């Protein structure tokens, strides 16, 4: 934990303690859901790694960026919210803000790349079918490089990081454009290339897909032909990607609107509570991707159910219940009884005579009894088990 610096007043919360406690509680819920959801999605993707398609690389990359945001932001934001002030000093504040920008922009850029890939596969299937794993890896690397440029910028004095207006977290200093030209240019580039342009590409990509589906059914049917399961999977990815994009943009748009209001308007007129509420919506973006894909994508859902069943089976095998042990013992005893053999090698009979070839009429199949063979001299004789109890047979082997 960093020491309290000269800017301690900047890190004091400017909203009520009740609102801070509410934010901390919501962040705790988001952290838990994001950890469980994204770790589960990555585990499922690892188990089905041999059958992953190139477009699904972007789903995995989005889950990695969401998990990175969860691990880097929530552990610092939650105790600060409950403490009613930022607890970790100025240097940690800079790193916190950089991680927020890096993982947030990588998620948005990743969704932009995914929308382009979906548009290519649906609207231009001849070119889309050539999209390979190497192309996907190259695009994923480009996503991280693109986001890193804007995340590292404020550390290189292009823009500036500072405490949020509500005091218990850190992000870009939205007040700096009012009196710094470099900060104004950074905010303009950030708004154009990291929000307006990606949102436009996403909107046009899915609008073009919708027009293609409605205007040219033959092209769509060629893409979703039953001859290949791959194209069917890509069509499903299009639908799920739209849902994820709507959730992500819906979460970040309030924060973008409030931030632009503060950057290009009178920052003193923006209430800190508005920033706090927008930040809560923005941080909820980490839970949408795993929820959509784990609940709605059939192969992910089936793999999850299979892994869950296997884990439950392993737990039951490790600690068997008393009823299970009793049941297994009963079945084992029953099997032993059903397959009991006597010393002459003959199996125990249930209602059928083994050697009653001469007096077949004496065989009473209606009332089955356990029998045993008795060696008397050089011949066998068959008696019931009850007779063995009533009268000792000296020749019983």
Q: How far is 56 from 60, CA to CA, in rounded Å?
A: 7
Q: Would the pTM of this model clear 0.75, i.e. be above it? A: no
pLDDT, residue 383, reads 55
CB atoms within 10 A of CB 206: 20
Q: Which pLDDT tens digit goes with each residue over 11-29? A: 888 899 999 999 999 999 9
DSSP-derived 3-state class of residue 48: coil
More confident residue, 10 or 182: 182
What order of strands is seen across the sheet that includes strand 379-384? 349-350, 370-376, 379-384
pLDDT band per the 50, 70, 90 thresholds, residue 124: confident
pLDDT, residue 214, reads 72
For residues 252-280, give the mean pLDDT: 88
Going by C-alpha positions, the residue among 160, 167, 165, 164 that lies closest to residue 184 is 160
For residues 122-148, give the mean pLDDT: 89
Q: Write out the residue limits of the CATH 1.20.1070.10 domain(s) in the chain.
A: 8-314
Q: Which pLDDT tens digit goes with each residue over 226-262? A: 444 445 555 676 778 888 888 888 999 999 999 888 8
Q: Which pLDDT tens digit goes with each residue over 203-223? A: 999 888 888 877 655 544 554
Res. 56: pLDDT tops 60:
yes
Res. 293: pLDDT tops 70:
yes
pLDDT band per the 50, 70, 90 thresholds, residue 139: very high
Least confident of 148-157, 159-168, 226-235, 292-301: 226-235
More confident residue, 358 or 282: 282
More confident residue, 97 or 319: 97
For residues 282-296, give the mean pLDDT: 85
pLDDT band per the 50, 70, 90 thresholds, residue 106: very high
Going by C-alpha positions, the residue among 295, 176, 298 that lies closest to residue 229 is 298
Q: How far is 286 from 32, CA to CA, in rounded Å?
A: 11
Q: What are the tokens at 69?
A: 């945001």
For residues 108 and 194, the answer to whether their CB atoms sit within 8 Å is yes
Residues 6 or more apart whose Cβ sits within 8 Å of residue 67: 34, 35, 38, 39, 42, 286
**CATH fold for the domain made of 8-314:** Rhopdopsin 7-helix transmembrane proteins (1.20.1070)
**Average pLDDT of the chain, as a whole number:** 77
Residues 6 or more apart whose Cβ sits within 8 Å of residue 370: 348, 349, 350, 384, 385
Residues 6 or more apart whose Cβ sits within 8 Å of residue 174: 165, 187, 259, 262, 263, 267
pLDDT, residue 393, reads 44
- Percent of the chain residues past pLDDT 70, beyond the cut: 69
Res. 371: pLDDT tops 60:
no
pLDDT, residue 239, reads 79
pLDDT, residue 215, reads 67
For residues 353-368, give the mean pLDDT: 44
115-124, 169-178, 186-195, 374-383: which has the highest mean pLDDT? 186-195
């Amino acid at each position: 934990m960093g020491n309290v610096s000269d800017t301690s007043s900047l890190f004091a919360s400017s909203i009520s303690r009740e609102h801070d406690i509410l934010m901390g509680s919501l962040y705790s819920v988001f952290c838990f859901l994001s950890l469980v959801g994204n770790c589960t999605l990555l585990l499922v993707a690892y188990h089905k790694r041999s059958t992953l398609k190139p477009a699904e690389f972007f789903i995995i990359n989005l889950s990695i960026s969401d998990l990175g945001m969860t691990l880097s932001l929530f552990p610092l934001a939650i105790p600060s919210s409950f403490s009613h002030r930022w607890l970790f000093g100025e240097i940690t504040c800079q790193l916190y803000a950089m991680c927020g920008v890096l993982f947030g922009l990588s998620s948005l850029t990743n969704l932009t790349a995914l929308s382009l890939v979906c548009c290519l596969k649906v609207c231009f299937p001849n070119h889309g079918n050539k999209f390979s794993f190497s192309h996907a890896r190259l695009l994923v690397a480009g996503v991280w490089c693109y986001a890193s440029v804007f995340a590292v910028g404020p550390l290189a004095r292009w823009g500036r990081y500072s405490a949020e207006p509500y005091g218990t977290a850190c992000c870009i200093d939205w007040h700096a454009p009012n009196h710094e030209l470099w900060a104004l240019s950074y905010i303009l580039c950030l708004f154009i290339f990291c929000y307006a342009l990606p949102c436009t590409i996403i909107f046009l990509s899915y609008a073009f897909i919708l027009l293609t589906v409605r205007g040219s059914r033959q092209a769509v049917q060629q893409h979703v032909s039953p001859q290949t399961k791959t194209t069917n999977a890509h069509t499903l990815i299009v639908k799920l990607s739209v849902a994820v994009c709507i959730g992500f943009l819906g979460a970040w748009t309030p924060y973008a609107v409030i931030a632009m209001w503060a950057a290009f308007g009178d920052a003193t007129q923006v209430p800190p509570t508005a920033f706090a509420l927008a930040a809560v919506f923005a941080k909820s973006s980490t839970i949408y991707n795993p929820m959509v894909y784990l609940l709605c994508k059939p192969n992910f859902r089936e793999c999850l159910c299979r892994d869950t069943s296997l884990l439950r089976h392993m737990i039951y095998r490790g600690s068997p219940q008393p009823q299970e042990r009793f049941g297994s013992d009963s079945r084992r005893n029953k099997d032993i009884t059903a397959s009991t053999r006597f010393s002459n090698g003959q199996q125990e009979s249930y209602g059928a005579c083994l050697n009653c070839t001469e007096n077949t009429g004496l065989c009473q199949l209606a009332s089955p009894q356990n029998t045993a063979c008795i060696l008397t001299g050089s011949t066998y004789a068959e008696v019931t088990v009850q007779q063995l109890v009533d009268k000792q047979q000296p020749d019983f082997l």
